[in-house]
Structure 1
Amino acid sequence: MSKLDFYRNLSDKIVSELEDKLPVVLWPLLLLLLIFTCALVLLYSASGCSMYPWAMKQLTFISIFSLLALLIRSINIMWFYDHAYTLYALCIMILIFTNIFGHNVMGAQRWIDLKYFSMQPSELAKVGVILALSKYFNDFSNSDGRIVSRLLFPIIISLLPFFLILFQPNLGTATILLFICAALFFINGIKKVFFLVPILIVLASSPFIWRYALHDYQKRRVITFLNPEKDILDSGYNIVQSKIAIGSGGIWGKGMCGGSQSRLNFLPEKHNDFIFTLLAEEYGLVGCIFVLFIYFLWIAYSYGVSNYSSLYFGKMVSVGFASMIFIHVFINVGMVSGILPVVGVPFPILSYGGSNAASTLLMFGIVLSVQKSESKRRFKKYIQSDTKN
């Protein structure tokens, strides 16, 4: 048995075991409730044991988008299939609008100011790309061997938003988008050589990229990653303080609102990109394992829905969502622990922010729609066969 088959069987087993004990919709919503609770507890602590300013706003965000996710669940998955390219085109137009008229903060033009709140369209672009690629691979999954012509259109679908986001500049989100696309290509059985060639091209052109393509702050991030102690009071400050906070948490942590690094404001962006560091300091290794296990179940559920769906579009959408969550978690945890460069990637739901919560929950609503549509199809087929008998 291959590793891929092993993980598929494992995710199927998790989904089937939980569905035997709980209604089909209830247990993923219970997982979400656990994640929401963790997010509010951490943001409450980050605010100095107060619901303001972050915890209450995040509660508002996740409440609104959870209701939208449940609304999306009631929509047949074929509607998203029929309108996938339209939704993708809408995301591209919003990205272009952002690059021209967007709100500029510290040299980055990533947001649209909507008076009462700001929206980051690059987060929603991930949803559009997953839907568009899923539709394409559904239509051409059984195409002939003309692999180059088969890949041209999905490559354009992937690279167009990638470059629009990169020009904002937003390297973190652009990188995640590219990894999600790579995961969908890989799942479709694209030959490994098509992954190797662009990697070799990037490596060969790395001196040019370093000299002409990267901004000064991005170069400092790479240098800081290689040697964070070189400039401990400036560019290396964030990651050094993050490591201190993670290490000080130990096995059990210091308890809610008990983290010295966070309470004394040594820990930077504790409500946002470094929320996992706050988790490690206050709840220790045990708390980190607990939260990561919840996200593992969430990812396993999505892969289980992928195997459950008879519609290839539904399979791809579910894999796309699972890949999005995994990549976000992997990069964020690696970033705050010093394994990866700091690129400004939030932890899904746990990190404060409405745009990331929106893309995550709306995409999850589509996965719920996949499961509901498939359950209705199977139930209808069962009734018809039972009637014949």
Structure 2
Amino acid sequence: MRPGVVPEAIAREPWGLILPLFVLNLFGSVVLYSAAGGHMQPWALLHQIHFFVFLFMAFVISRMSREFFKLMAFPIYGVIVVLLVLVELAGAVRGGSQRWLDIGFMQLQPSELMKPAIVLALARLFDMMPPTMTRSWRMLVPVGGLVGLPTLLVMLQPDLGTGLSIAAGAVVVVFLAGLPLRWFIGAGAAVLVAAPLAFFTLLHGYQRDRVLVFLDPESDPLGKGYHITQSKIAIGSGGFWGKGFGHGSQSHLEYLPEAQTDFAFATMAEEWGLVGGIFVLAVFLWVFRWSMRVAQNAPDRFSSLLAAGMTFTMFFYMAINTMMVVGLAPVVGIPLPFISHGGSAMMTNMICVGTIMAVHRWNRRGGSLSA
């Protein structure tokens, strides 16, 4: 928005990011309204409340200085590690997993907070180290410790999807920091060799079932493959234009499990069709493109790694969820940002948004350390 047409305080806000998020949130509320049979309760209204509360939080984060981010990077990481330990000791159990802390107004999932926290901690670590040390094997020790501890604690909950999300965000920051490509190739080869052993020894039975069902969902369409089978039916039945708002039979007749969370994209695609799916993906791609431009224009290494890592954290949510509902990835319980119902995921993504907005503000002020 141009100064002079609207007040300067409003014009300088990053509307290229905020407006697409409003669009996604509004569309998500419409999907949740339909999934509840034409009622704002229990999902659509709470979805709106979560969005505006955490959007305010994002604006608060965006006003923080770069030096404050640097100062708080490791303390924030440490606090969330403590919360993960508390989950192991006294966390609430839901669906056979111990992942939540009851804080009264919401069920907090600390593992969600670790996704942006690991990006912040690694960005600060690489900012502290001389560029020449980045290519030294000694760098792997602090990086491995920062990433390995929370990933292990999350895997113990057990939560394979979130554990992989934390590791994936960390890998992106480490790669962009400039570690030698041969290390990533070697690590990839090691993972391929270790994967069969891990599959049979480290994964829980239900996690192995998810992988096997992903490979052949039709082998048990009424049992372990029920979720993905019904998701494919919902998406396929929507066709090009969809069945129309409020006419999604798979969700309304409760054939589609978790229609308001993990499979909200399938709920949307049944009613809005391929057109709706392309629209949602296009808005997400606009958000990611805008955010990566912020990272590219960042005034220093810390800011660039921070914005890029936060962008990829949101991208991972979107990519895994959409691949999951169409059968291109195992069902791992990752919601679709700003569309699916869920307070912890909304909070995590808004932390990412607020951080990207902060880097955008630093860019506009010319990289002043006091910005």
TM over 0.5: yes
Q: Aligned partners of 1:334 and 1:241: how far apart in 2?
A: 15
Is there any run of 5+ residues in structure 2 with no aligned partner, and where? 1-10
1:350 aligns with 2:343: no
Q: Give yes or no for contact 1:246–1:277 (8 Å, CA) kept in 2.
A: yes
CA displacement at 1:66 relative to structure 2: 0.5
CA displacement at 1:187 relative to structure 2: 1.2
Structure 1 window deviating more from structure 2 (189-198 vs 45-54): it is 189-198
Q: 1:59 aligns with which of 32, 40, 48?
A: 48
Aligned AA (2:259): K
2:289 equivalent in structure 1: 300
2:351 equivalent in structure 1: 362
Q: 2:166 aligns with which of 174, 177, 188?
A: 177
Q: Give yes or no for contact 1:102–1:112 (8 Å, CA) kept in 2.
A: yes
1:266 equivalent in structure 2: 255
1:256 equivalent in structure 2: 245
Matches within 5 A, 1:94-133: 94-133=83-122
Q: Aligned partners of 1:333 and 1:86: how far apart in 2?
A: 34
Structure 1 window deviating more from structure 2 (143-152 vs 160-169): it is 143-152
Q: 2:35 aligns with which of 37, 41, 46?
A: 46
Q: Aligned partners of 1:173 and 1:85: how far apart in 2?
A: 20
TM-score by length of 1: 0.89
Q: Give yes or no for contact 1:84–1:135 (8 Å, CA) kept in 2.
A: yes
Is there any run of 5+ residues in structure 1 with no aligned partner, and where? 1-21, 381-389
Q: Give yes or no for contact 1:228–1:240 (8 Å, CA) kept in 2.
A: yes
1:87 equivalent in structure 2: 76
- Could you report, residue by residue, the CA deviation over 1:53-105 in whole angstroms, capped at 9, with x for unpaired residues? 01111111111111111111111122111211111111111111111111112
CA displacement at 1:193 relative to structure 2: 2.1
Q: Give yes or no for contact 1:111–1:121 (8 Å, CA) kept in 2.
A: yes
1:383 equivalent in structure 2: none
Off by >6 Å, runs of 4+ in structure 1:
none
Q: Aligned partners of 1:143 and 1:187: how far apart in 2?
A: 14
- Could you report, residue by residue, the CA deviation over 1:129-176 in whole angstroms, capped at 9, with x for unpaired residues? 011001111222512475101222112111111111011000001111
Q: Give yes or no for contact 2:135–2:180 (8 Å, CA) kept in 1.
A: no
2:61 equivalent in structure 1: 72
Matches within 5 A, 1:138-157: 138-140=127-129, 142-144=131-133, 147-157=136-146
2:205 equivalent in structure 1: 216
Q: Taking every aligned residue pair, what percent have the same amino acid on both sides?
A: 35
Q: 2:225 aligns with which of 213, 236, 245?
A: 236
Q: Give yes or no for contact 1:70–1:365 (8 Å, CA) kept in 2.
A: yes
Q: Give yes or no for contact 2:210–2:330 (8 Å, CA) kept in 1.
A: yes
CA displacement at 1:24 relative to structure 2: 4.8
- Could you report, residue by residue, the CA deviation over 1:193-237 in whole angstroms, capped at 9, with x for unpaired residues? 212223322322333312221111111111111111111111111
- Secondary structure of 2:255's counterpart equals coil
Q: Aligned partners of 1:229 and 1:364: how far apart in 2?
A: 39
Q: Give yes or no for contact 1:77–1:366 (8 Å, CA) kept in 2.
A: no
- Secondary structure of 2:331's counterpart equals coil
2:153 equivalent in structure 1: 164
- Could you report, residue by residue, the CA deviation over 1:274-311 in whole angstroms, capped at 9, with x for unpaired residues? 01111111111111111111111111111111112112
Aligned AA (1:106): G
CA displacement at 1:349 relative to structure 2: 1.8
Q: Aligned partners of 1:333 and 1:25: how far apart in 2?
A: 27
Q: Give yes or no for contact 1:262–1:270 (8 Å, CA) kept in 2.
A: yes
Q: Give yes or no for contact 1:229–1:236 (8 Å, CA) kept in 2.
A: yes
1:203 aligns with 2:176: no
Aligned AA (2:153): L
Q: 1:310 aligns with which of 299, 306, 310?
A: 299
Q: Aligned partners of 2:59 and 2:152: how far apart in 1?
A: 32
Residue correspondences, number:
360
1:324 equivalent in structure 2: 313
Aligned AA (1:359): T
Q: Aligned partners of 1:92 and 1:40: how far apart in 2?
A: 33
CA displacement at 1:379 relative to structure 2: 9.1
Q: Aligned partners of 2:134 and 2:57: how far apart in 1?
A: 41
